[in-house]
Amino acid sequence: MKNIKWFISALILGTLFGCGMSSDKGELTGVPGRRTWFHPQPYGTIYVPSGSIHVGANEQDIPMAQIAPNRQITITSFYMDETEITNNEYRQFVYWVQDSLFRNKLAENNPEKYFFPLPEGEEDESMRGLNWEEKIDEEDVKATEDIKNFFYNQAETYYKVKQIDVRKLVYSYDFIDQRAAAQVKRQNWKNVNRADFKKKKEVEIYPDTLVFIRDYTYSYNDPMTQVYFWHPKYDDYPVVGVNWHQANAFCDWRTKYLNSFYADILENTVTSFRLPTEYEWEYAARGGRDQTMYPWGGPYIRNAKGCALANFKPGRGEYSSDGGVYPIRVASYFPNDFGLYDMAGNLAEWTSTAYAESGNLFTHDLNPDFQYDAKESDPETLKRKTIRGGSWKDVAYFVQNGSRSYEYQDSCNSYVGFRCVMSYIGRSNRDKN
């Protein structure tokens, strides 16, 4: 992946040298040469238009939990993944991290081969990007002693197969904490630097493949543990065993992966991929239908032919009566009116929203959200993140549009996955201006 810093630098230089050089006759005409730009739709996503809708429970709150009171909100438009992220899609992320770790080690020994050269006049070595176009040479790998550390040692190897030590697959990324920066009073801006709000994260990104065993005591789920993530039969099944931090790391990688392509072709970059807020998720799940119980609109979990409309747990232990026992291939049921699949059942999905029982009451009615990235030292209650949609192991209540639940941000499960969204730049009708 080429470094997108070059493109950003070019934009800055273009701005500096472009001002005051046009024949505008002294009139205010704006900066010349600005091209019309349309927000490209990322592959595999669905456009969700802006709109207002009622969120919250759609039936009587019998236990009086008051965790999903009904209210009206407005959500601005975004792109959303058509399905949950699959094993094969997440595997692309895993392979990229593995490849980047190898290339960084190789570049330490042979920088001229595995790094792009610095532009003329540039002396900052940190500006050099990895040369992804250069094929990794096996001889270079053998000559680089540190690469051996990425594999399991002899004591951990079985069947005489050389395998990557997945504990070494760590994705590192930086980001600016904009919410913290926004809390600084304007009169104090001169006393702070952007570096004060720059944060770095390191995330072990390989999914926990033991979740099918760990989640269920006295239950034989070993075959799923052994083959679910890596076997091609499950390529189009939703990835499991991914915690909230790993889902966010995937979003960051996906953003940089796409924007590096746009930088290569000298195009404008796009907004970041991210997890949806729980209200964006519910708005998308309803598919433009207000006050409906399920994504398909009706109050029933089966159609007129008696076929289940989602992969959940019908009745008492009747996992197979809906056509699926464990998670099943994505898009196996009909989509909702927006064209989104599996917004009910199959897997519950991570959102970016911190879970609070009273969240529906204190959040804003325009793009409502409540975010808190808990520290390791924080109490467990602050580490709760809202999940939506219910899963293959949940009863019908949890697959309703308005049902709310949570998992801890550092937990991995066999019933929680995720999908990404990207905020749309422009009006909700995808105007051409």
Using 50, 70 and 90 to split pLDDT, how confident is the model at 421? very high
Domain membership flag for residue 125: no
Using 50, 70 and 90 to split pLDDT, how confident is the model at 145? confident
Domain membership flag for residue 179: no
Structure tokens that stand for 361 in this block: 């009451």
Percent of the chain beyond pLDDT 70? 91
Q: Residue 361 and residue 73: Cα distance in Å, rounded?
A: 11
Strands 78-81 and 421-423, how do they pair? antiparallel
Q: Residue 433 and residue 430: Cα distance in Å, rounded?
A: 9
Domain membership flag for residue 182: no
Question: Residue 115's beta-bridge partner residues?
Answer: 130
Q: What is the pLDDT of residue 22?
A: 55
pLDDT digits (tens, 9 = 90+) for 293-342: 999 998 899 988 888 999 999 988 789 989 899 999 999 999 999 999 99
Q: What is the DSSP string of 216-279?
A: -TT---HHHHHHTTTSGGGTTSBP-S--HHHHHHHHHHHHHHHHHHHHHTT----PPEEPPPHH
What is the identity of the amino acid at 346? N
Structure tokens that stand for 177 in this block: 């904490």
Q: What is the pLDDT of residue 20?
A: 47
Q: What is the mean pLDDT of residues 143-172?
A: 87
Q: Residue 430 and residue 49: Cα distance in Å, rounded?
A: 8
What is the identity of the amino acid at 231? H
Q: Is residue 397 a contact partner of residue 403, using CB atoms and an 8 Å limit?
A: yes
Using 50, 70 and 90 to split pLDDT, how confident is the model at 236? very high
Q: What is the mean pLDDT of residues 152-179?
A: 89
Domain membership flag for residue 167: no
Give the residue numbers spanning the domain of 57: 53-86+205-428
Which string of b and e fits 259-271 if b means at least 16 CB within 10 Å?
bbeebeeeeebbe
CATH number at residue 273: 3.90.1580.10
What is the identity of the amino acid at 6? W
Q: Is residue 298 a contact partner of residue 292, using CB atoms and an 8 Å limit?
A: yes
**pLDDT at 47 exceeding the cut of 90:** yes
Domain membership flag for residue 135: no
Q: Give the residue with greater pLDDT, 188 vs 266.
A: 266
Look at the chain and report how many structural domains it folds into.
Answer: 1
Domain membership flag for residue 280: yes
Domain membership flag for residue 281: yes
Structure tokens that stand for 274 in this block: 């991210």
Domain membership flag for residue 151: no
Q: What is the pLDDT of residue 64?
A: 65
